[in-house]
């Protein structure tokens, strides 16, 4: 028994052998029920027992009895299924289906399960156990496999990382789809709210803009949309991360296949690239299908992000324009009030100064010489009253003119 940890995964190798001869006679073939005794009802070699987060590949190897060694892989399918039934003896777990079979190093190999089933959006994700049954016809296939054993372990690592990443995208797909529906519903609600607001406002309301209640409602919608968009962006980011993980590990898978070929050729084995076609199915068809499907789904979901961005931009535009108009109106009103206060302050001050001469109303009238008739009479109070009114008017007009002039030239009036 050998346990090896590599990267973020580990492998367990159990090698059981018995002497080829006992008491001078050839040892009888080991019955298939031997595997049942190893696994038992607890299914210790299967994913439910191990709780592996990155998936699992179970590889069963055995030498074929002499009476089966000349049979083709197609004729040995039933034998491979019986091996599978023995390693999964429980009736609670349905045996995974046969996915493919072929020849590897001149010996039959069978693949069962290992598929990600996600038939509907509501149900859970069903990942079938992945079991390989490799039946040696002789010593040479076994030697080739043993000499490239580490590369095969790496191959299974990368395969299961691809599958676990794709499995995660199935969960992300459901969450992203639900988030997309929420975004779409919120955007529709915003549009209906704007349309109803347009119908409800009167001519006077149109001139004065949105009410404070409508403005606060828009701000609340903006907060909700921004929160939804942030969560949506996080889901899309994780989605893209899984797609990148699948792409990277698919390349690693292809490199490892080439490494198996190179390792065996370096050890002087006669081996051709097509002998590994059994494993090329995964990187040539299965993984590209995963990547294409994820890309198509991302293209669909990206529209949801664009929809939310446009809605948020629209709400912000409405709120900013409305706020700017309100600030400008308030500023104009304040400025007008300040102008009036300044003008009347100067006028009142001027009038107060002149009015201080009101005591002259009790003075005696004064005679002023006139060029036409040689003289005239004028009361001092009349002179003071006239001067007060004239001074106030001149002071108010002069102040207004100076304010206008300073504004025109861009200088504040103090």
**How do residues 341-370 score in pLDDT, each as one tens digit?**
767 776 676 666 666 655 655 555 655 555
Q: What's the mean pLDDT in 142-154? A: 91
* Whether residue 177 has pLDDT greater than 80: yes
How much is the average pLDDT of 363-392?
60
Across 12-21, 99-108, 189-198, which has the greatest mean pLDDT? Answer: 99-108
Angstrom distance (rounded) from CA 100 to CA 116: 16
pLDDT tens by residue, 34-46: 777 776 666 666 6
Is the pLDDT score of 118 beyond 70?
no
Is-contact 131 58, C-beta < 8 A?
A: yes
pLDDT score of 158 = 93
Res 117 pLDDT > 80: no
Q: Supply φ then ψ for residue 352, to 5 degrees.
A: -65, -40
Average pLDDT, integer, range 9-25: 74
Instruction: Please give the Cα distance from 8 to 160 (Å, whole number).
Output: 12
Distance CA 108, CA 110 (A): 7
Residue 214 binned pLDDT confidence (cut-offs 50, 70, 90): low
Mean pLDDT rounded to a whole number for the chain: 76
Residue % of the chain over a pLDDT of 70: 64
- What is d(CA 88, CA 286) in angstroms, rounded to the nearest whole number? 26
For the ranges 65-79, 147-161, 166-180, 218-232, the maximum mean pLDDT occurs at 147-161
DSSP string, 1-19: -EEEEETTEEEEE------
Residue whose entry in the numeric block shows the structure tokens 């049979």 = 71
Residue 204 has pLDDT above 70, yes or no: no
Range with the poorest average pLDDT among 105-109, 224-228, 294-298:
224-228
Q: Is pLDDT at 203 greater than 50 in this prediction?
A: no
Report angle CA 16, 22, 27 to the nearest 5 degrees: 60
Cα–Cα distance for residue pair 26/23, rounded to 1 Å: 8
Which stretches within 267-286 are classed as H helix? 277-281
Mean pLDDT of 53-75: 85
Dihedrals φ, ψ of 411, to 5°?
-110, 135
Given a cut of 50, whether residue 191 has pLDDT beyond it is yes
Q: Residue 207 — pLDDT band, cuts 50, 70, 90?
A: very low
Whether 380 contacts 413, CB under 8 Å: no
Residues 6+ positions from 241 with CB-CB distance below 8 Å: none
Burial pattern 224-237, b for ≥16 Cβ within 10 A else e, equals ebeebbeebeebbe
Strand partners for 12: 3
For residue 205, what pLDDT is reported? 47
Q: Among 17-26, 78-87, 214-223, 401-410, where is mean pLDDT lowest?
A: 214-223
Separation between Cα atoms, residue 82 and residue 78, nearest integer Å: 6
Q: At residue 49, does pLDDT exceed 70?
A: no
In the predicted model, what is the mean pLDDT of residues 235-261?
93
| Structural tokens at position 46 | 């299967």
Check residue 42 and give its pLDDT. Answer: 64
Q: What is the pLDDT of residues 284-334, one digit of tens each?
A: 999 999 999 999 888 888 776 666 666 666 666 666 666 666 667 677 777
3-state secondary structure of 247: helix
Of 131-145, 245-259, 269-283, 292-306, the least confident: 292-306
pLDDT value for 247 = 94
Q: Which residues sit opposite 111 in a β-bridge?
A: 100, 132
User: Minimal CA–CA distance to 279: which of 270, 290, 287?
Assistant: 287
For residues 55 and 158, the answer to whether their CB atoms sit within 8 Å is no
Burial of 139 (0-12, 13-18, 19+ CB in 10 A): exposed
């Amino acid at each position: 028994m050998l346990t090896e940890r590599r990267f973020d995964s580990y492998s367990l190798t159990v090698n059981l052998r018995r002497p080829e001869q006992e008491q001078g006679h050839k040892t009888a073939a080991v019955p298939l029920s031997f595997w049942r005794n190893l696994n038992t009802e607890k299914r210790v070699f299967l994913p439910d027992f191990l709780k592996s987060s990155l998936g699992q590949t179970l590889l069963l190897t055995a030498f074929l009895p002499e009476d089966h060694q000349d049979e083709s892989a197609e004729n040995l399918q039933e034998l491979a299924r019986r091996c599978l039934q023995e390693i999964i003896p429980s009736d609670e777990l349905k045996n995974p289906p046969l996915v493919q079979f072929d020849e590897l190093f001149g010996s039959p190999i069978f693949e069962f399960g290992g598929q990600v089933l996600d038939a509907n959006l509501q149900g859970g994700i069903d990942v079938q156990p992945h079991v390989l049954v490799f039946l040696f016809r002789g010593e040479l296939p076994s030697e080739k496999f043993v000499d490239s054993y580490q590369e095969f372990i790496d191959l299974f690592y990368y395969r299961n990382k691809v599958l676990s990443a794709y499995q995660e995208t199935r969960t992300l797909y459901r969450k992203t789809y639900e988030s997309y529906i929420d975004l779409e519903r919120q955007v529709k609600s915003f549009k209906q709210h704007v349309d109803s607001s347009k119908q409800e406002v009167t001519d006077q309301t149109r001139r004065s803009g949105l009410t404070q209640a409508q403005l606060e409602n828009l701000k609340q919608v903006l907060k909700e949309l921004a929160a939804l968009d942030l969560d949506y962006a996080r889901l899309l980011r994780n989605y893209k991360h899984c797609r990148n993980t699948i792409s990277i590990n698919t390349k690693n898978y292809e490199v490892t296949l080439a490494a198996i070929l190179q390792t065996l050729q370096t050890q002087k084995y006669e081996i051709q690239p097509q002998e590994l076609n059994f494993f090329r199915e995964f990187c040539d068809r299965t993984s590209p299908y995963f990547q294409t499907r994820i890309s198509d789904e991302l293209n669909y979901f990206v529209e949801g992000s664009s929809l939310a961005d446009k809605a948020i931009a629209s709400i912000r535009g409405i709120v900013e324009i409305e706020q700017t108009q309100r600030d400008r109106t308030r500023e104009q009103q304040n400025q007008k009030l300040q102008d009036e206060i300044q003008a009347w302050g100067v006028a009142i001050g001027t009038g107060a100064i002149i009015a201080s001469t009101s005591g002259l109303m009790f003075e005696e009238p004064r005679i002023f010489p006139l060029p036409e008739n040689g003289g005239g009479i004028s009361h001092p109070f009349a002179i003071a009253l006239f001067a007060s009114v004239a001074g106030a008017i001149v002071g108010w007009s002069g102040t207004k003119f100076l304010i206008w002039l300073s504004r025109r030239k861009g200088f504040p009036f103090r």
